[in-house]
Amino acid sequence: MPDLATLTVVGVVVLAVLIVVFTKVRQKDLIGAFMEKRRASAKLVSRADYVEGAEKIPVAIALTNDTFYYENPDLEASFDLNRVDEIEYSDELVTGANHNESTRVLRLRSHGAAFEFLLDRAEAQKWQSMLPPRRFGGVAHAS
| Domain CATH for 17 | 2.30.29.30
pTM of the model: 0.74
> Within 13 Å, how many C-alpha atoms sit on residue 121's CB side?
7
Beta strands (DSSP E) in the chain are: 44-52, 55-63, 67-72, 75-80, 86-90, 103-110, 113-120, 134-135, 138-139
Amino acid identity for residue 27 in this structure: Q
Mean pLDDT of 65-81: 93
Query: What is the distance between the alpha carbons of residues 45 and 65, in angstroms, rounded to a whole number?
Result: 13
Query: Quick one: pLDDT at residue 22?
Result: 60
Query: What is the distance between the alpha carbons of residues 90 and 127, in angstroms, rounded to a whole number?
Result: 12
* Residues forming a β-bridge with 91: none
Number of domains present in the structure of the chain: 1
Q: In this predicted model, what pLDDT tens digit does every residue of 26-71 receive, in sequence order?
A: 555 678 888 888 888 999 999 999 999 889 999 999 999 999 999 9
Boundaries of domain holding 98: 4-139
Q: In this predicted model, what pLDDT tens digit does every residue of 84-117 receive, in sequence order?
A: 999 999 999 988 777 888 999 999 999 889 999 9
